[in-house]
Structure 1
Amino acid sequence: MTRLARTIDGRPLLGDGDGFVPLSSADPSLTTIRDALPLAASGALPSPDEAAASRVSAEGLAFAAPLERPGKLWGIGLNYADHASDLNEDSPTEPASFMKPSTTATGPGGPIRLPSRDITDRVTAEAELALVIGRTCSDVDEGDVDDVIAGYVPVIDMTAEDILERNPRFLTRAKSFDSFLVFGPSLITPDEVGPLEGLSVRTVVNGAVAAENEIRNMMTSPRELVSFHSNVMTLEPGDVISTGTPGAKHIVSGDSVRAEVERVGTVEADVVS
């Protein structure tokens, strides 16, 4: 798999199943992950085999989130009918989208930091497939979406559910606490993932699967989500659309949460007060 990643001290990496090399050792013009996103969208990333450096195994590296500073962060609510049913809500007839600030983002391991209990006493964690935009675009036809996606990454999204239940207009606040979006360790290019429809997404808490579903059961597919939102605003390299969760699980301090997205990867984080 072709991967883009970033070490915890900020070094951008290019990798595959055999390990990682410094991104600039494969192409000196690429000094950040954002520089490489258009090439990832067009299928023109260099190979680690072309690098003037030897691979280092993933086990020998500590990873941060792939994007140092993500762009616009879109989330999608109730995108699986089963999840809407679990929450006793009607499935929306168009994407129930919301935005999160970039300060919610953190990298593998987190930790997920729960706000004080006088602010919220019920936070849920949700595994999701996220896609990263690689090219500036607007009004993208669904059939052309593959040309603007740089890659996919697993994420854990959080919600202060008791705040949201008080009033649905509080959604932005309920979703926007620091550390409420945990990114997986690497971005996987679309050509390496292949068709998404049959892939599964799982929310796992303390080793037990709390929710699981296949991407084919989304109300609005990933391609449709990109096309839809490109008609709302211009999308730019580094923008992220997190495509919705098969189900959420209440979390408390001491828990361990994992998002598993088949063929894309996993990300895990501890929960702390």
Structure 2
Amino acid sequence: MGTDRRFARTVDGRSWVGDDAGFVPLESAVPGVDDVTEVLSSRGDSLADVDVDSAPARRVPGESLTFGAPFDPGKLWGIGLNYADHAADLSEMRPNAPASFMKPRTALTAPGGPIRLPAWSDRVTAEAELGVVIGRACSDVGRDEFGDVVAGFVPVIDMTCEDVLEENPRFLTRAKSFDTAIVVGPWLSAPATLDRLADVTVRTVVEDEVVAENDLDGMLFPPDELVSFHSRVMTLEPGDLISTGTPGAGVIEHGDHVRAEVDGIGVLEADVVGPS
């Protein structure tokens, strides 16, 4: 899959860059740049060229850092029913175009959570997804321009109040938008090349049980098509996130621990707490 560069923020707001061997402060590897959001506009393959080994700073193991959201998000797009198997499980018709929706920035929470279940829903599900992060303002882009406009990839845990959605499909925004209804992190992974996504499996894990998994080739609309499609709907900007859909969801309850596993990209985890 090539070199993996991971761009992250810790909960104290400090930005880091690293790989499997650990992280160094971002500014030590990219002089004059001290925030991940500033590097999003670099092409994904350029981000992968950041030299961590030559940085004049000691590496810090990733497990010793407490990560926050890795960048300042803009628009948060979600894609429903994007895996053929998931649509069949829900007895839903396969859409002939991406079934997209948007979530507010107030729905975002950091790696580790907690995901706070809303008091007005009796059944909330968690869904692991691959997120695609836009790095350059763009519109009307072709699928072959994917690597020119995407900064990198990120694991996502998306939540749905299924009882609300089942009551009426027009309640989708309410069902998807409560505070802490999306977890993003722990890092942005570059480069953003489609070959990195070959043979990638996405897994939804609740309480150490894999409740759903599928390869990205099970998608109805692959990431490059999703970026091209949505760039024709509106201008995409650095920090916009397209969460590409889930292979399946698991019901979550107070005390649960949830993971999104995206092979070659990262593992994202969060705790669940009940309504306050």
Amino acid at match of 1:97: S
CA distance in 2, matches of 1:270, 1:226: 30
SS at match of 1:147: helix
Task: Return the match for 1:64 from 62, 68, 71.
Answer: 68
1:3-152 paired onto structure 2 within 5 Å: 3-44=6-47, 45-67=49-71, 69-116=72-119, 119-152=120-153
Greater Cα shift, 71-80 or 85-94? 85-94
Structure 2 residue aligned with 1:268: 269
How many angstroms does 1:193 deviate by?
8.2
In the TM superposition, what is the alpha-carbon distance from 1:190 to its structure 2 partner? 2.5
Shift of 1:250: 1.1
User: How far off its partner does 1:29 sit?
Assistant: 2.5
Q: Is the 8 A contact 2:153 2:192 kept in 1?
A: no
CA distance, structure 2, for counterparts of residue 46 and residue 251 of structure 1? 39
One-letter amino acid of the structure 2 residue matched with residue 129 of structure 1 = L
2:255 maps to 254
CA distance in structure 1 between the partners assigned to 2:194 and 2:67 by the alignment: 21
**Structure 2 equivalent of residue 241 of structure 1:** 242
Q: String of CA shifts for 1:142-168, please: whole Å, max 9, x gaps.
A: 011111111111111000011111111
Q: Is the 8 A contact 1:193 1:264 kept in 2?
A: no
Query: In 2, distance between residues paired with 1:112 and 1:57?
Result: 26
Distance 2:196 2:76 in 1: 23
Which residue is 1:212 aligned to?
213
The letter for the 1-side match of 2:68 is A
Task: In structure 2, list runs of 5 or more residues that go unmatched.
Answer: none
Give, as a single letter, the amino acid of the residue that structure 2 aligns with 1:35: E
**Cα deviation code 1:32-58 (max 9, x no counterpart):** 111111224352552112323221111
Structure 1 unmatched ranges of 5 or more: none
Contact 2:156 2:184 in 1 (8 A): yes
The verdict on how the C-alpha distance between 1:121 and 1:266 changes in structure 2, with shifts beyond 3 A counting, is same
Letter in 1 for 2:160: T
SS at match of 1:177: coil
Q: Is the 8 A contact 1:196 1:216 kept in 2?
A: no
Question: Which residue of structure 2 lines up, in the alignment, with residue 183 of structure 1?
Answer: 184
Deviations 1:183-236 (A, max 9, x none): 121111026884313210011111111001100010000000000001111111
> What number of residue pairs does the alignment pair up?
270
Which amino acid letter does the alignment assign opposite residue 107 of structure 2? T
Distance 1:96 1:151 in 2: 22
Is the Cα–Cα contact under 8 Å of residues 19 and 56 in structure 1 kept in the other structure? yes
Aligned residues of 2:131 and 2:156 also touching (Cα < 8 A): yes
Q: Percent same amino acid at aligned positions?
A: 60
